[in-house]
Amino acid sequence: MNHASALPLFYNSHLNSTTIISEHHAWRTLTGLQTSDYYAYRKALMSGCHLQRASFELRHPEVMVCDLSNLDPIYDGMSDEEVIRIWEYLNSRTTQLQSSDICKIKGDGLSPELAVSGPSKTKLLDFKSDLIKEALATSHQPFSCVKPTNRGLTKTRLLIDTDNETLDFHNKFCAFYSKYISYEHWDSSLALNTRYIYDDHSIWLKIKNISKNKLFLLSAGLPLALGYLAATKDTDIFFSEIHRQNDPSLLTRDENFLDIFPHTTSSNDSWLIIDKAYTGGSLRQAANMIRKKLGYNFEVKTLALFPKTFSAFMSADYAVYAGKLFDVKVYASKLNRKNWHTQLISEKSV
């Protein structure tokens, strides 16, 4: 039996007091705390508190059926028109979903993304496989007549198969970053257990020439940065961390990483901030962070990887979409909000 009440003001604002009564122990009555804040919970444990009861909120697994911003290799042999036609077919089919086990993921302006979620990852993968086969069966184009082009960046390269320089950088990063992760989560932390990195792609060399320093944002940025390093041998790469909303990685750490790795205190060279982008908010935060830390006397540009909304594309300096690099200001006047996601399939890259 628990009774909650407000704590005095000197307590953490994320904590409420509670009374714990054990009827089967002669109505033994203890005071305690209630919180939904992970860091308040961790701090309470370190102060000697014991976990009495827990509830869990779990997110269903999700599968990307088709993402125009970063297409699967199956689309490499298709013409631009056929890619768009297949996407439109898949969009129509996923929009009509009536299943209680599988639902289409919705959002505000998520134009390129066709994703589904549900309680069973196996069912989601089977659904995707069947739907792709169904869509391909409607195709009227012999794929072999089109010269293959890499319409996306894949993450299938084993880290252990890369060169010593890439492995050494990864090991140094893990040694540094592990101090921020709770030791009981070392074996499950995505950043500390990277197995696959992004494959070699012509886009990496184009990105290399934009700015001197490259700042990748964790944790999605680690396999991207290692793929970039393995492909270009460019060691001017750095990491920082921006957490926004519904980030489960916050549950694995003792403290936030609010710095830059490798550590740097000043720079007169240009910077390029690279991250996957749904709205572009993390890129903007990172740009403000690096200016506050290092000063305002150098150029800072942003690159949106696989932008999922029109605003994410338009708010960046550069974008990688469907395996192509775009200088945003060059294309801004050519795109419209309704069809930008299909227009970029046919546009030429930098």
| Terminal-residue alpha carbon distance, the chain | 65
User: How many angstroms separate the most distant Cα atoms in the chain?
Assistant: 82
pLDDT at 173: 94
233: alpha, beta or left? (left if phi > 0; alpha if psi -120 to 50): left
pLDDT at 198: 96
pLDDT at 143: 52
Q: Tell the CATH topology of 157-346.
A: Rossmann fold (3.40.50)
Write out residues in the chain with pLDDT < 50, as ranges.
3-11
pLDDT at 242: 84
Give the residue among 298, 308, 247, 240 at the shortest CA–CA distance from 274: 240
Q: Please state the domain extents for the chain.
A: 2-46, 62-145, 157-346
pLDDT at 192: 87
Residue 318: which residues within 8 A CB-CB, separation 6 or more? 207, 210, 272, 301, 302, 303, 304, 325, 326, 327, 328, 350
* Cα three-residue angle 326-246-18, rounded to 5 degrees: 165
Give pTM, 2 decimals: 0.86
User: Each residue of 47-103: pLDDT tens digit?
Assistant: 999 999 888 888 999 999 999 999 999 999 899 999 999 999 999 999 999 888 999
